[in-house]
Amino acid sequence: MRVVRKSGRRAGARDDIDRMFRLVERLTSVGAATSALEQLSVAHTLDDRGLLGWPVNRTRLLGLNRGAGKQLDKVLGYPRYLGVLRLRMLAGMGLVAPVRARRKRAALLAGMVGTGIAQNLRSNYGLDGSDHFAFINYTSAMVEKLFPDDDRAAREFVLSFIAAQSCLSYFTSGVVKLGSPMWRSGTAIDGIFRTRTYGDRFFYRLFRDYPPLAKLLAWSVIVAETAFPLVLIAPKPLARAILLAGMGFHVGNARFMGLNRFFWSFVASYPAVAYFSRALGRTDRDR
C-alpha cells in the first residue's frame, strides 16, 4: 500500500486525508453492509422467540428498561429492528459506492453509527471485535466530517485515532499472547483449531500430528501482532510486509477460523496506519 502526500497538496474535500477516510469508509462498509444483509437473510433469528429476542436481551441493562430506555421498543422490537438493519445495509452500500461529497458521506456515516449503537444495545450476543472496530472507524470518519476541509490538523488527528486503535489492538493481542504459556508452547493453536466454532478439521489434524508447526504458528502470530506498530517507523519494504502480513492473517482467519467480518473492519484501518507510517505515508515531513 502506498500513500503519498504531496508537498503541494490542496486543502479541501479531495485531499490526501479525505482519500484515506474514503478507503476506511469503503472497506469497513463492505463488511458492515454484507453483515446487515446476512442478518436480514435469517431475520427469524432476531424475533422474540429466539436467543437474540429483544424482550429477554433488554433485561441485561437497567437503563434499557426505564426512562428513555422504554422508548427503545420502537426501534429495537421485532420486526421494527429489521428496519434498522435495512437502513444499515443501505447506508453501508452508499458508502461503498463512489460517493465523494462529504455531506452525503457524513449522513451515511451517521446512519452507520446510529445503527451500530442500536445493534449493540439490542444484544451483545453474536457481536465481535469486527463490530467494535467498525464502530470506531465510522464514528471517527463521521466526526472528521464535522470539521472544515481546511482544518487539516483536526482531521488528521481523527485519522491518527484510527491508526492508534489499530496498533493498540494488534499490540495488545500479541503481548497478552506472549505472556500466555498456552501460546508460547503452541498448545493454544491446536486447542483453537480443534473447535468447530473457530477451528478447522484439516489444520487441527496437522497441528496435532506436528506440534512444532503449531508452535511455529503461535510464535509467528505473537511476533507479528506485537511488532505491528513498527509499521509506523519501519523502512518501506518492512512496513509494506507488515501490512501485507496483516491482510494475509485476516484472509486466513476468514477462511479457516470463520472470522470473515474481521478482514473488512481491521484492514480498513490500514490506510490510516499507512498515512502515519514514516515510509509509506509522509513524503514531506518538513511541514
Smallest separation, CB 60 to another protein (Å): 5
Closest by CA position to 113, among listed 95, 135, 133, 82: 135
Q: Which of residues 50-69 bind another protein (CB under 8 A)?
A: 50-53, 56-57, 59-61, 63
Contact call for residue 223 and another protein (CB under 8 A): no
Judged by DSSP in three states, 45 sits in helix
Cβ nearer to another protein, comparing 135 with 270: 135
Smallest separation, CB 45 to another protein (Å): 5
Q: Which of residues 139-178 bind another protein (CB under 8 A)?
A: 139-140, 143, 146-148, 151, 153-154, 157-158, 161, 164-165, 168-170, 172-173, 176-177
User: How far apart are alpha carbons 170 and 100 in whole angstroms?
Assistant: 31
What's the gap between Cα 174 and its chain centre?
17
Contact call for residue 230 and another protein (CB under 8 A): no
Smallest separation, CB 206 to another protein (Å): 11
Cβ nearer to another protein, comparing 118 with 239: 118
Select from 5-13, 190-198, 270-278, 279-287 the region that touches another protein (CB under 8 A): 190-198
Q: Where are the alpha helices (DSSP H) in 179-286?
A: 181-185, 187-193, 201-209, 211-227, 236-257, 260-267, 270-276
Cβ nearer to another protein, comparing 152 with 283: 152
Contact call for residue 219 and another protein (CB under 8 A): no
User: How far apart are alpha carbons 47 and 161 in whole angstroms?
Assistant: 37
What is the residue whose three cell numbers read 465510522? 138
Contact call for residue 124 and another protein (CB under 8 A): yes
Cβ nearer to another protein, comparing 23 with 118: 118
Cβ nearer to another protein, comparing 157 with 283: 157
Contact call for residue 270 and another protein (CB under 8 A): no
Q: Which grid cell is 252? A: 486466513
Smallest separation, CB 57 to another protein (Å): 7
Convert 176-192 to b/e letters by CB count within 10 Å (16 or more is b): ebeeeeebeebbbbbbb
Kindly report the number of other CB atoms within 10 A of residue 166's CB atom. 26
Cβ nearer to another protein, comparing 239 with 266: 266
Q: Which of residues 10-49 bind another protein (CB under 8 A)?
A: 34-35, 38-39, 41-42, 45, 48-49
Closest by CA position to 17, among listed 164, 169, 165, 151: 151
Smallest separation, CB 117 to another protein (Å): 7
User: How far apart are alpha carbons 103 and 148 in whole angstroms?
Assistant: 11
Contact call for residue 248 and another protein (CB under 8 A): no
Cβ nearer to another protein, comparing 130 with 240: 130
Q: Which grid cell is 244? A: 501485507
Cα dihedral 106, 108, 111, 117 in deg (nearest 10): -70
